[in-house]
A and B are shown apart, each in its own frame.
Chain A
Amino acid sequence: MDLPLIWSAIIALGVFMYVLLDGFDLGVGILFPLVRAKRDRDAMMNSVAPIWDGNETWLILGGASLLGAFPLAYATLLPAFYIPIMVMLFGLIFRGVAFEFRFKSTLRWPWWDASFFLGSLVATVMQGILLGAFITGVPVEAIEAGNWRYTGGALDWLTPFNLMCGAGLACGYALLGATWLVLKTEGHLQRFSYRAAWWLAGLVAVFLVVVSLWTPFAHPAIRERWFSWPNLLYLSPVPLVTGAVVLALFAALHRRRETAPFVLTMALFALSFLGLAISLWPYVVPRALTIWDAASPRDSQIFLLVGVAFLLPIILGYTVYSYRVFRGKVSEGYH
């Protein structure tokens, strides 16, 4: 049994769950300034208030299980990405507390609305930058026993490619947020969400094309993987299906479908995630450490795997239950 392989699948699943779930509630935050009326903003916030905390827990799971299953990757990547990670955390702090603080504030200027929007946007852009920096790979050197040291500069992440990834992810999360609001709201807020989703779907399509061309252009190893024969043949369904999903999304928005846009946007994220996995396999610190290099001992991985095999289905069970409790259109609000 190849444990590092199983663990990379589990962590990939955790990160993907995070991207989908926190993606839509971060997206709701990014859309905040486009909606002016307090009533509508209340409805937007209420649509995610009961579940955002569970969504964010997937991020903690990602960090903790990376430490548990691939401690070397955790200890190499996190110091390398010190500044973007810290800025992301500050963003998440200020948007997270806004859920409680916003409804209690009596200040004339909506400080906590601003905190919710800026926190969501900053956290998302930083996640995109981290993604870009991760694809690019980090320079490391071996130091004392089993330790790797990041040799790049503190601001190496500030590159055009990474910033473009940040902008792309912000559009992607906003699209998830808009299609979520299509599902959860009615009336003029829903009409706004359809319009926003239409424009965002266009932007996301553009970013997908740009990233898909830029990445192999900038990274020979990734170019090799996608464009060598016969990989080209095997992998061609990924971009083709992605294109079809984008068209289906536009069609669903045009026909004013309520559930399909959200589902299709999630499918779009799944395909992008798959493409990314194909590009980076089998590295956990791209082009420095593979999943086998960075893995913790078999015993640690088994100890944790037993728990995951048993607990993850239960977690998914009550998460689904909680979403079902709060299903349907968001009404007067819970607060």
Chain B
Amino acid sequence: MDLDVLLLSRLQFAFTIGFHILFPTLTIGLGLFLVVLEAQWLFRRDELAYRLLRFWSGIFALAFGVGVVSGLVLSYQLGTNWSRFSTFTGNLLGPIISYEVLTAFFLEAGFLGILLFGWHRVGPRVHFFATCMVALGTIISAFWILSGNSWMQTPAGFAIEGGRVVATDWWAAVFNPSFPYRFAHMVMACLLSTSLVVGGIAAWYLLKGVHEEFARRAFSLALWMALLAAPAQVVIGDLHGLNTLHHQPVKVAAMEALWETEAPAPFVVFAIPDQEGERNHAELSIPYLGSLILTHSLDGAVKGLKEVPPQDRPPVAIVFFAFRLMVGLGMLFVLVAVLGLVLRRGGALYRARWFQRLCVAVSPLGFVALLAGWTVTEVGRQPWVVYGLQRTADGVSLLPAASVATTLALFLLAYSVLLTAFLIFFFRMVRRGPDYATDPPHFQDKARTLYGRA
């Protein structure tokens, strides 16, 4: 029965966190877009930036609402479904999560009302400040939660007393070895995914021939963001990989489906990993390339999965394919971003229909790459929930399987409804386009901007 509960709780957590992460991804990325746009509106009195700002803050609000309620679930699930993990790590992870609430959630929530509904109730500078605080809140939130997650991957700054983790060095615990890489990788993924969404919608307007001026501006801004983020993500991802090779070599071996320790190691382009048989089927590999990518030298040694006993290995096939999906999509995004730069010449960007179609097609794929990346890192550290310290099986709450099965079914149902509704409203807002009818708030008329017109 315990095994069933373990599987059910894992499925429930994977599903609820996988669903949740889509929305913060959009709000972290859009937060930065909103800050840039509002700065253009505030300092240059650029009315087009204001239209873009209002349009995207509507989408931001929609995503934020779903993000908040699905995030609330997670903060309680650690206790309801993973109580033995919470007992083991609570002394260290509890304060980290509390800091997230204190420094990020309150900040976002406190200023979101002003961002969304305060246009005519506060002055333009105060409003800009509120937008900055909301954007800052989303990033601070990512900071703490990725610190906590990274600690579970590369624990540091702790001792174990009485069977429980006790922090000995908070700085080392928060800035644990994999944290800087994971944080940078995630924030960049948010920026990239969001710029693909913004660019995709702009491209769709251009294809339809509607909201021309608005779409050009958004398309250009999004492609600049993508050009910044996509190549940077490749570099950060590579550094993150080196870091993982150092701290979690078994995960890297699973990512690359390498069973034997080899120097030089090949790069497995395609294979069907066989967990039981400890080998690959239908393998296609390129010699030396594995060492070159992973160790940045032609003959560097890469540890194989057989270095650890079978019960300490993650499910190889999932990690292997998820990793290939993520990297493949990452390369595609670099291609799109570079094409965007090339096509800027003479404004071909706004005429090349094939490129606009391509941008529409890739617009949701940032989220696919993101989920694939999380699958790599979370499945790749199995069977550990706290790497090398606590097995996932030892962290689960001892609940009746029927309770967890019921809530899992309800989550599947409820989140399907939420996602459907979200997408309907999202596409409806996109179809309707920006609002040109209402006047932007005035700058000079102080009395009016401060107290007038609700």
Binding site for B on A (CB under 8 A): 49-51, 53-54, 56-57, 59-61, 63-69, 71-72, 74-79, 81-83, 85-86, 89-90, 92-94, 96-97, 99-101, 104-105, 144-147, 149, 154, 296-297, 299-300, 303-304, 307-308, 311-312, 315, 318-319, 321-322, 325-326, 330-335
Interchain residue pairs A-B with the least CB separation, the first 4:
A71-B90, A50-B113, A145-B163, A78-B79
Known: A104-B425, A331-B454. A296 touches B94 (CB 8 A): yes
Report the stretch among B95-103, B207-215, B302-310, B320-328 that lies at the interface. B95-103
9 contacts between A and B (CB under 8 A): A53-B113, A56-B68, A65-B94, A77-B79, A101-B421, A300-B91, A300-B92, A315-B102, A319-B106
Chain B hits for A53, CB < 8 A: 64, 68, 108-109, 112-113
Which of A105, A304, A335 touches B95 (beta carbons < 8 Å)?
A: A304
Q: What residue of chain A has the Cβ atom nearest to residue B428's Cβ?
A: A104
Chain B hits for A85, CB < 8 A: 76, 80
Chain A hits for B403, CB < 8 A: 82-83, 154
Chain B hits for A67, CB < 8 A: 78-79, 86, 90, 93-94, 97-98
For chain B residues 235-269, which have a beta carbon within 8 Å of chain A?
none
Known: A83-B403, A85-B80. A54 touches B418 (CB 8 A): no
| Further pairs besides A63-B75, A318-B107: 8, Cβ < 8 Å | A53-B108, A53-B113, A71-B164, A93-B69, A94-B414, A315-B102, A315-B110, A325-B114
Nearest chain A CB to B100's CB is how many angstroms away?
A: 7
A-B contact count (CB 8 A): 228
Are B121 and A75 within 8 A (Cβ)? no
Nearest chain A CB to B116's CB is how many angstroms away?
A: 7
Alpha-carbon separation in the docked complex, A108 to B13 (Å): 35
B 48-78 to A, binary, CB cutoff 8 A, 1 in contact else 0? 0000000000000110111011111101101
Are B166 and A79 within 8 A (Cβ)? no
Are A57 and B101 within 8 A (Cβ)? yes
Nearest chain B CB to A158's CB is how many angstroms away?
A: 13
Are B69 and A97 within 8 A (Cβ)? yes
Q: Does B441 lie at the interface of the complex (its beta carbon under 8 Å from any beta carbon of A)?
A: no
Are A64 and B425 within 8 A (Cβ)? no
Chain A hits for B64, CB < 8 A: 53
Q: What residue of chain B has the Cβ atom nearest to residue A100's Cβ?
A: B65
Alpha-carbon separation in the docked complex, A303 to B112 (Å): 28
Chain B hits for A68, CB < 8 A: 90, 94-95, 97-98
- Residue among B66, B86, B101, B428 with most chain A CB within 10 A: B101
Q: B-side binding surface: helix, strand, loop or mixed? A: helix
Nearest chain B CB to A297's CB is how many angstroms away?
A: 5
Chain A hits for B397, CB < 8 A: 78-79, 82
Q: Does B162 lie at the interface of the complex (its beta carbon under 8 Å from any beta carbon of A)?
A: yes
- Residue among B61, B80, B418, B454 with most chain A CB within 10 A: B80
Alpha-carbon separation in the docked complex, A94 to B421 (Å): 12
Are A296 and B91 within 8 A (Cβ)? yes
Q: Does B105 lie at the interface of the complex (its beta carbon under 8 Å from any beta carbon of A)?
A: yes
Known: A97-B421, A304-B99. A326 touches B87 (CB 8 A): no
Q: What residue of chain A has the Cβ atom nearest to residue B103's Cβ?
A: A311
Q: Does B331 lie at the interface of the complex (its beta carbon under 8 Å from any beta carbon of A)?
A: no
Are B101 and A93 within 8 A (Cβ)? no
Are B99 and A307 within 8 A (Cβ)? yes
Are B110 and A86 within 8 A (Cβ)? no
Q: Does B392 lie at the interface of the complex (its beta carbon under 8 Å from any beta carbon of A)?
A: no
Alpha-carbon separation in the docked complex, A99 to B112 (Å): 13
Q: A-side binding surface: helix, strand, loop or mixed? A: helix
Are A154 and B400 within 8 A (Cβ)? yes
Are A57 and B428 within 8 A (Cβ)? no
Binding site for A on B (CB under 8 A): 61-62, 64-66, 68-73, 75-76, 78-81, 83-84, 86-87, 90-95, 97-103, 105-114, 116-118, 121-122, 161-164, 166-167, 170, 397-400, 402-403, 407, 410, 414, 418, 421, 425, 428-429, 454
Are B87 and A72 within 8 A (Cβ)? yes
Chain B hits for A331, CB < 8 A: 454
Chain B hits for A63, CB < 8 A: 75-76, 79
Chain A hits for B399, CB < 8 A: 79, 82, 154
Are B102 and A90 within 8 A (Cβ)? no
Alpha-carbon separation in the docked complex, A74 to B113 (Å): 31
Alpha-carbon separation in the docked complex, A97 to B424 (Å): 14
Chain A hits for B97, CB < 8 A: 64, 67-68
Are B113 and A78 within 8 A (Cβ)? no
Known: A63-B76, A76-B83, A93-B418. A308 touches B94 (CB 8 A): no
Known: A57-B105, A60-B75, A82-B80. A334 touches B117 (CB 8 A): yes
Known: A307-B102, A311-B102. A69 touches B94 (CB 8 A): yes
Alpha-carbon separation in the docked complex, A93 to B428 (Å): 22
Chain B hits for A54, CB < 8 A: 106, 109-110, 112-113
Known: A75-B79, A89-B73, A101-B421. A300 touches B68 (CB 8 A): no
Are B112 and A64 within 8 A (Cβ)? no
Are B425 and A101 within 8 A (Cβ)? yes
Are A149 and B398 within 8 A (Cβ)? yes
Chain B hits for A77, CB < 8 A: 79
Alpha-carbon separation in the docked complex, A72 to B79 (Å): 10
Are A93 and B65 within 8 A (Cβ)? no
Alpha-carbon separation in the docked complex, A64 to B65 (Å): 20
Chain A hits for B100, CB < 8 A: 64
Alpha-carbon separation in the docked complex, A134 to B99 (Å): 26
Chain B hits for A92, CB < 8 A: 69, 72
Which of B79, B99, B101 touches A74 (beta carbons < 8 Å)?
A: B79
Are A146 and B87 within 8 A (Cβ)? yes
Are B110 and A322 within 8 A (Cβ)? yes
Are A90 and B410 within 8 A (Cβ)? yes
Chain A hits for B83, CB < 8 A: 74-76, 78-79
Chain B hits for A66, CB < 8 A: 94
Q: What residue of chain A has the Cβ atom nearest to residue B121's Cβ?
A: A325
Known: A53-B112, A100-B425. A299 touches B166 (CB 8 A): yes
- Residue among B91, B94, B425 with most chain A CB within 10 A: B94
Chain B hits for A65, CB < 8 A: 94, 98, 101
Nearest chain A CB to B89's CB is how many angstroms away?
A: 8
Nearest chain B CB to A13's CB is how many angstroms away?
A: 13
Chain A hits for B80, CB < 8 A: 78-79, 81-82, 85-86
Chain A hits for B116, CB < 8 A: 50, 334
Chain B hits for A149, CB < 8 A: 398
Alpha-carbon separation in the docked complex, A72 to B84 (Å): 9
Q: What residue of chain A has the Cβ atom nearest to residue B407's Cβ?
A: A86
Q: What residue of chain A has the Cβ atom nearest to residue B118's Cβ?
A: A325
Are A71 and B91 within 8 A (Cβ)? yes
Q: What residue of chain B has the Cβ atom nearest to residue A14's Cβ?
A: B101
Alpha-carbon separation in the docked complex, A54 to B164 (Å): 33
Chain A hits for B407, CB < 8 A: 82-83, 86
